[in-house]
């Protein structure tokens, strides 16, 4: 923008800054509402007017992780005193934690779904970034016949609507027994992220001067040694950024997970909405599950902030 | 002199002698990826192309009968399917227009020196990084007619956002605009910051008004990047499934992906759904082609 001189321009500039702050608050409000609902007692989650100031408590999390049933009669004082803090929170909400015959607490499905999300997202990220880095190097450094067409083909696989791919994949997986398995989802997410990782990594590797490897080759390195000892360390930041993007995509994915899994390998995105069901859902528990699920992505977004532009544009726009 | 030139071997052939040849490495690095993508993307599509000419139902053991082009003929003549496409088109237009308006607008506001600009930009980008399905779910609570925060803040009483068939599509689009305006903003900011400052200075010296400056300098120079954002968002909005599926059960929000999902996995009309998938696929590939051409054009700059 041109240098600001007149009082009118100064005023306009101040108005713009104020507007930016207001817009930022509006954009963050839904996320704030999720986070605050996750720490509310159940009776304050759906009040009119909305409850903004309250004493935060951990009962939504205690309920999130445990299997509960309605409390028929109030716990005896001894029972209450003997219970750990999180169990008391469940008692306070008029419910009790289900225990097995031997007194072991029964977990809800949430920890399992969260773990499934972790297994699937991490494994598919490692595979996609690993393969993608090799392939990107191949495209970046060597002459490949029909390079543009191959790169278009690679990118186009990511553009397919998930439901379109899911119909035949569902049939094929059913035939080979990959439905509702971790590996089934891992392979799908690897394929989905592979195209992205090739495009993004190619941009990062293109920026590493060829002279580095050529100097190493003159020094007697083989091409493989030059790749592992010179190129990979230089590309480390790019690899990390690509990995975080792949992780977030796999972590957030919904359609494939909904279609390909239902229990054993189900990830958190199809599981959390399934908890709303009918009737009056306990929004504090859903918010607690959502909060924990969003937390890693929120942290990663801050770590990635300087690479977001590049990642979101498949490496086409750099800064 | 002559001997030293003789011993300075071409590095490539020297490497070739000890390790693998460059050609072998290239093939080792590229071919597995291409094969993997063929197995997981092209092969399934060929598989479903075959089924699209049959009356196969995955819920029964009955063998598939070849019915020729019947599925395609019936789908293209089905007014309900056309309605799904109309809903999708409406959704794409409303949500992409909203994202461009909000995203570009915020980028214009942000394109100046602001305290904590980096932090503010990152915070604004947060919604698009989150899971559409999970965060979308929470908008159900925000939109609730009785205790939703939105109605309370806007003083709308018990206005039905998701319950009213005429409003539901806009409600889903608003959530989509909230999530994806940051994407348009991010790309627009990159475009805006790349506009050379001296152009604005020259315009100021010529006493050009702000409107003239915007339409003759800012917009033309940002347009290529903005177009990338628009094509990409159009493609994504056309494919949309998560948000609309989670937020609404209204027939007025049944975009084509939802129809496809229901046909395939609830009604188990597998053959027919494969045919519909192909119709959708051809549309998406057309737009993808335009998108990639644009990406490459911007890359060359």
User: Model confidence over B62-110: pLDDT tens digits?
Assistant: 888 999 999 999 999 999 999 999 999 999 999 999 999 999 999 999 9
pLDDT of A29 reads 95
Q: Residues 81-110, chain A: which have Cβ within 8 Å of B?
A: none
Give per-residue pLDDT as tens, B186-199. 999 999 988 888 98
Other C-beta atoms closer than 10 Å to the C-beta of B58 total: 18
Asked if the C-beta of A239 comes within 8 angstroms of chain B's C-beta atoms, the answer is no
* Chain A residues with beta carbon closer than 8 angstroms to that of B277: 161, 163-164, 167
* Chain A residues with beta carbon closer than 8 angstroms to that of B144: 46
Asked if the C-beta of B285 comes within 8 angstroms of chain A's C-beta atoms, the answer is yes
Residues 6+ apart with CB under 8 A from B1: none
Q: What is the mean predicted confidence (pLDDT) over B106-134?
A: 93
pLDDT of A124 reads 97
Cβ <8 Å between B144 and A46: yes
Nearest CA in chain B to A189: B40
Token pair listed for B144: 């609730």
Cβ <8 Å between A220 and B14: yes
- Residues of chain A below pLDDT 70: 1-5, 278-279, 319
Cα-based angle B92, B256, B259 (whole degrees, multiple of 5):
150
Q: Are B201 and B260 in contact (CB under 8 A)?
A: no
Smallest CA–CA separation between A85 and chain B, in Å? Answer: 28
pLDDT of B297 reads 79
Q: Across the interface, which of B114, B126, B292 has its CB nearest the CB of A298? A: B126
Q: Report the percentage of chain B scoring pLDDT > 70.
A: 93
Other C-beta atoms closer than 10 Å to the C-beta of A181 total: 16
pLDDT of B5 reads 41
pLDDT of A278 reads 60
Other C-beta atoms closer than 10 Å to the C-beta of B159 total: 15
Residues 6+ apart with CB under 8 A from A141: A205, A210, A213, B26
- B133 vs A105, residue with greater confidence: B133
Q: Are A294 and B130 in contact (CB under 8 A)?
A: yes
CA B3 to chain centre: 61
Give per-residue pLDDT as tens, A7-20. 888 888 899 999 99
pLDDT of B14 reads 52
Q: What is the mean predicted confidence (pLDDT) over B123-140?
A: 93
Smallest CA–CA separation between A77 and chain B, in Å? Answer: 36
What is the rounded CA–CA span in Å between residue B203 and residue B206? 5
What is the rounded CA–CA span in Å between residue A87 and residue A93? 10
Q: Which of B144, B267, B156, B152 is nearest to A276 (CA)?
A: B144
pLDDT of B285 reads 86
- Tokens 């479903």 locate to B48
Query: How confident is the prediction for chain B on average, in pLDDT?
Result: 89
What is the rounded CA–CA span in Å between residue B175 and residue A26? 12
Q: Which of A169-178, A210-219, B3-12, B126-135 has the lowest mean pLDDT?
A: B3-12
For an interface test with A, give the residue of B31, B133, B288 to mutate (most A CBs within 10 A): B133
What is the rounded CA–CA span in Å between residue A121 and residue A123? 6
Q: Across the interface, which of B12, B37, B131 has its CB nearest the CB of A154? A: B37
With bands split at pLDDT 50, 70 and 90, how would you rate the model's confidence at B301?
low
Give per-residue pLDDT as tens, B152-186. 999 888 899 999 999 999 999 999 999 999 999 99
Cβ <8 Å between B125 and A293: no
For an interface test with A, give the residue of B10, B43, B124, B131 to mutate (most A CBs within 10 A): B131
Q: Are A51 and B152 in contact (CB under 8 A)?
A: no
Smallest CA–CA separation between B37 and chain A, in Å? Answer: 6
Cα-based angle B235, A259, B56 (whole degrees, multiple of 5):
95
Exposure string of B9-32, with b = 16+ CB inside 10 Å and e = fewer, is eebeebbbeebeebeebbeebbee
Cβ <8 Å between A188 and B40: yes
Q: Tell me which H or E stretch contains A95.
A: strand A95-97
Asked if the C-beta of A250 comes within 8 angstroms of chain B's C-beta atoms, the answer is no
Nearest CA in chain B to A300: B129
Other C-beta atoms closer than 10 Å to the C-beta of A35 total: 17
The CA-atom distances, in angstroms, between B226 and each of A41, B45, B93 are 45, 32, 16
Burial class from Cβ neighbours inside 10 Å (0-12, 13-18, 19+) for residue B252 reads: middle
Burial class from Cβ neighbours inside 10 Å (0-12, 13-18, 19+) for residue B298 reads: middle
What is the rounded CA–CA span in Å between residue B48 and residue B42? 10
Cα-based angle A60, A64, A65 (whole degrees, multiple of 5):
130
Smallest CA–CA separation between A91 and chain B, in Å? Answer: 26
User: What ipTM goes with this model?
Assistant: 0.90
Asked if the C-beta of A284 comes within 8 angstroms of chain B's C-beta atoms, the answer is no
Asked if the C-beta of A283 comes within 8 angstroms of chain B's C-beta atoms, the answer is yes
Smallest CA–CA separation between A175 and chain B, in Å? Answer: 11
What is the rounded CA–CA span in Å between residue A123 and residue B33? 16
With bands split at pLDDT 50, 70 and 90, how would you rate the model's confidence at B292?
confident
| Pairing relationship of beta strands A95-97 and A68-70 according to DSSP bridges | antiparallel
């Amino acid at each position: 923008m041109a240098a600001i001189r007149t009082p009118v321009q100064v005023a306009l500039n101040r108005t713009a800054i104020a507007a930016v702050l207001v817009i930022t608050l509006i954009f963050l409000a839904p996320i704030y509402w999720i986070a605050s609902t996750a720490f509310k007692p159940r009776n304050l989650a759906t009040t009119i007017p909305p409850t903004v100031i309250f004493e935060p408590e951990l009962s939504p999390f205690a309920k999130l992780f445990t299997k509960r049933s309605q409390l028929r009669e109030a716990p005896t004082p001894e029972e209450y005193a003997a219970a750990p803090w999180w169990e008391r929170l469940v008692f306070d909400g008029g419910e009790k934690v289900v225990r097995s015959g031997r007194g072991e607490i029964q977990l809800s499905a949430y920890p399992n779904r969260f773990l499934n999300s972790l297994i699937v997202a991490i494994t598919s990220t490692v595979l996609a970034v690993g393969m993608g880095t090799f392939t990107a190097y191949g495209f970046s450094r060597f002459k490949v016949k029909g390079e543009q067409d191959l790169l278009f083909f690679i990118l186009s696989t990511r553009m397919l609507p998930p439901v379109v791919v899911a119909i035949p994949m569902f049939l094929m997986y059913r035939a080979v027994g990959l439905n509702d398995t971790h590996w089934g989802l891992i392979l799908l997410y690897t394929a989905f992220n592979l195209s992205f990782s090739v495009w993004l990594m190619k941009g990062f590797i293109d920026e590493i001067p060829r002279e580095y490897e050529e100097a190493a080759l003159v020094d007697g390195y083989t091409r493989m040694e030059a790749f592992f000892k010179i190129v990979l360390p230089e590309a480390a930041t790019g690899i990390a950024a690509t990995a975080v993007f792949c992780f977030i995509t796999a972590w957030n994915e919904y359609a494939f997970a909904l279609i390909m899994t239902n229990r054993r390998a189900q990830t958190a995105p199809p599981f959390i909405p399934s908890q709303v069901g009918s009737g009056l859902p306990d929004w504090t528990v859903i918010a607690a599950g959502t909060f924990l699920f969003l937390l890693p992505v929120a942290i990663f977004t801050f770590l990635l902030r300087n690479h977001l532009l590049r990642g979101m544009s498949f490496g086409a726009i750099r800064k | 002199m002559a001997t030293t030139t003789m011993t300075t071997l071409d590095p490539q052939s020297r490497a070739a002698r000890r390790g693998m040849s460059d050609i072998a490495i290239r093939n080792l690095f590229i071919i597995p990826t291409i094969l993997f993508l063929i197995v997981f993307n092209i092969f399934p599509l060929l598989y479903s192309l075959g089924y699209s000419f049959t009356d196969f139902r995955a819920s029964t053991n009955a063998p598939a009968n070849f019915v020729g082009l019947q599925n395609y003929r019936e789908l293209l003549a089905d007014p309900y399917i056309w309605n799904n496409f109309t809903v999708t088109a409406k959704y794409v237009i409303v949500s992409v227009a909203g994202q461009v308006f909000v995203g570009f607008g915020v980028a214009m506001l942000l394109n100046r020196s602001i305290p904590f600009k980096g932090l503010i930009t990152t915070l604004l980008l947060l919604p698009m990084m989150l899971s559409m399905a999970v965060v979308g779910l929470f908008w159900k609570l925000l939109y609730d007619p009785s205790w939703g925060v939105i109605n309370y803040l806007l003083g709308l009483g018990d206005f039905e956002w998701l319950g009213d068939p005429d409003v539901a599509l806009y409600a889903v689009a608003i959530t989509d605009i909230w999530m994806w305006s940051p994407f348009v903003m991010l790309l627009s900011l990159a475009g805006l910051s790349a506009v050379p400052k001296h152009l604005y200075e020259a315009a100021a010296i010529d006493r050009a008004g702000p409107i003239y400056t915007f339409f003759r300098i800012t917009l033309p120079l940002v347009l290529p990047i903005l177009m990338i954002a628009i094509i990409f968002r159009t493609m994504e909005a056309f494919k949309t499934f998560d948000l609309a599926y989670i937020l609404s059960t209204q027939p007025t929000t049944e975009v084509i992906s939802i129809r496809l999902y229901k046909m395939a996995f609830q009604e188990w009309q597998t053959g027919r759904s494969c045919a519909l998938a192909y119709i959708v696929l051809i549309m998406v590939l057309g737009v993808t082609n335009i998108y990639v051409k644009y990406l490459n054009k911007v890359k060359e700059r």
